[in-house]
Amino acid sequence: MALAQPKITATEERLSALRLPESGVWLARARGAAQDRVRTMGLPAARDEYWKFTPPGTLVQPEAPQAAVFRHDEAPVFDGIERLKIVFVDGVFDAAASDPLEGEGLQIERLADVAAQDIHWARDLYGVLETRGQTPVDRPLAALNTAYASDGILIRVTGHVSKPVSLIYHHESTSSDAILHHVMKVEEGASLTLLENGPAAARFNKVMEVDVADSAAFHHVRAQGRDHERRAATHIFARLGRESTFKSFTLTVNGKMTRNECVIELTGDDAVAHVAGAALGDGDFHGDDTVFVTHDAVNCESRQVFKKVLRNGATGVFQGKILVKPGAQQTDGYQISQSLLLDGDSQFLAKPELEIYADDVACSHGSTSGAIDEDALFYLRARGIPGNVATDLLTLAFLAQAVDEIEDETLRTEMAARLEGWLSRRSG
């Protein structure tokens, strides 16, 4: 179908504010194809069905909206955890702050460094998983990313990895517009834990393509917060092989506009995919979790657990889908999205969808929204706990179910502690 003129105009305006980075043959080809995809799809507009609950304007406009830099005196997230640090400042790699790009069982490179190479393993994945994720729903911001990403990290995991890889994003310029594209390839039987945190830029567009081979495992823990001016559109495209595992957890606190899309394709039998998120939104917070899980193999399991606590007019969005393709028998799909509205101004908008073409499957989804349980609150207050403390306790208990999805105990404890700290400081 031909695009509407306003959409073409908005798309061209955005593209004209960007420049295709210098690239070698394979990357230039991938970027060119992605640029074509953007033009064919057009960038998101307010009336698009997939953007029904989230106004895409600030993510699409040619210049990034100004964003004050968030200063704080807290210990950095994941501080006490031994990890391989890779730092980006406003989307630019900071070699001085980063550890050497090497590690046992790992091959780590920067996209900008390998761009000119003729042959590179990332050629088979860069923009490839993103393209697969464009059906049946268009994700034009991801295609835009593939075309214009200035840098990114390429990780190939071949063996045992001793510590997590940690991507740290700093924000220093009030008008930075960062586009990063990471590619992860976890080879057969290998496993990787990836950590992400930090405000990144005034506006951040990030794509991560993850290929998890047979019997491999990929764990992802991400903390977005507590910067309030954040505008971010992130995409994860994952493809899972036989008996592989993919687990991703995101903590989102504050942020004017955060849209996290996660597109997972289970292509090998007996694979497992878990995606979870806990969000705490205050004031003009807008947090959107959009998840699309495709079951295309037998006996796979998928789980989506998303919890949001909202107050002072905050908006939480959940769009989740489980697609079970013909033949994907013995699928076990689960999806829950819940919100706790702490006052009358906040809103929760959800579309928990199922599309099933196989008969021997179990898919369940649930979605609830409501205020804090008055009885529980009364119970705590009757035992001498002040109202605000009691509310915080119940809030934490509510979000804990999502945090519990993190498999690694150290990381789980870190996220739970961070959440507690951020909850108590949410006003500042």
Partner 1 sequence: MATLDQTTEVKEGVDQETVDAVREVGGKYKYGWETDIEMDYAPKGLTEDIVRLISTKNEEPQWMTDWRLEAYRRWLSKKEPEWAMVDYPQIDFQDQYYYARPKSMEQKPKSLDDVDPKLLDTYAKLGIPLKEQMILAGVEGAGDTPAEARDGERKVAVDAVFDSVSVGTTFQKELKNAGVIFCSISDAIRDHPELVKKYLGSVVPVSDNFYATLNSAVFSDGSFVYVPPGVRCPMELSTYFRINAENTGQFERTLIIADKGAYVSYLEGCTAPQRDKSQLHAAVVEIIALEDAEVKYSTVQNWYPGDEDGKGGIYNFVTKRADCRGDRSKVMWTQVETGSAVTWKYPSCILRGDDSQGEFYSIAITNHHQQADTGTKMVHLGRNTRSRIVSKGISAGQAQNTYRGLVSMHPKAKNSRNFTQCDSLLIGDRCGAHTVPYIEVKNNSSRVEHEATTSKVDDEQMFYCRQRGMDEEEAVALIVNGFAKEVLQALPMEFAMEAQQLVAISLEGSVG
Please give the residue ranges that form the binding site for partner 1 (CB under 8 A).
49, 322, 324, 326-327, 329, 333, 339, 341-371
* 3-class state of residue 190 by DSSP: coil
Neighbours of 366 (CB within 10 A): 10
Residue with smaller CB distance to partner 1, 272 or 349: 349
Helix, strand, coil % over all residues of the chain, rounded to 5: 25, 40, 40
Cα distances (angstroms) measured from residue 400 to each of 376, 395, 397, 417: 16, 8, 5, 11
- Cα–Cα–Cα angle for 77, 281, 410, rounded to 5 degrees: 30
- Pairing relationship of beta strands 153-157 and 92-93 according to DSSP bridges: unpaired
Q: Judge contact between 284 and 314, C-beta under 8 A.
A: yes
Residue 82 Cβ vs partner 1, minimum distance, rounded to whole Å: 40
Q: Tokens 């990895």 identify what position? A: 161
Residue 329 Cβ vs partner 1, minimum distance, rounded to whole Å: 8
Residue with smaller CB distance to partner 1, 80 or 344: 344
Residue with smaller CB distance to partner 1, 263 or 350: 350
Q: Judge contact between 157 and 105, C-beta under 8 A.
A: yes
Residues making up the chain, counted from first to last: 428
The whole-angstrom separation of Cα 297 and Cα 270 is: 8
Residue 427 Cβ vs partner 1, minimum distance, rounded to whole Å: 19
Residue with smaller CB distance to partner 1, 104 or 343: 343
Q: Judge contact between 324 and 359, C-beta under 8 A.
A: no
Residue with smaller CB distance to partner 1, 364 or 424: 364
Q: Choose among 49, 76, 420, 58: nearest CA to 256.
A: 58
Q: Choose among 155, 212, 162: nearest CA to 186.
A: 212
Residue 334 Cβ vs partner 1, minimum distance, rounded to whole Å: 9
Residue with smaller CB distance to partner 1, 267 or 369: 369
Q: Judge contact between 15 and 38, C-beta under 8 A.
A: yes
Residue 381 Cβ vs partner 1, minimum distance, rounded to whole Å: 19
* 3-class state of residue 147 by DSSP: helix
What φ, ψ does residue 181 adopt, rounded to 5°? -135, 115
Neighbours of 309 (CB within 10 A): 29
Residue 49 Cβ vs partner 1, minimum distance, rounded to whole Å: 7
Residue with smaller CB distance to partner 1, 49 or 118: 49
| DSSP 8-state secondary structure symbol assigned to residue 158 | -
Residue 209 Cβ vs partner 1, minimum distance, rounded to whole Å: 28
Residue with smaller CB distance to partner 1, 103 or 320: 320
Residue 136 Cβ vs partner 1, minimum distance, rounded to whole Å: 11
Residue with smaller CB distance to partner 1, 108 or 356: 356
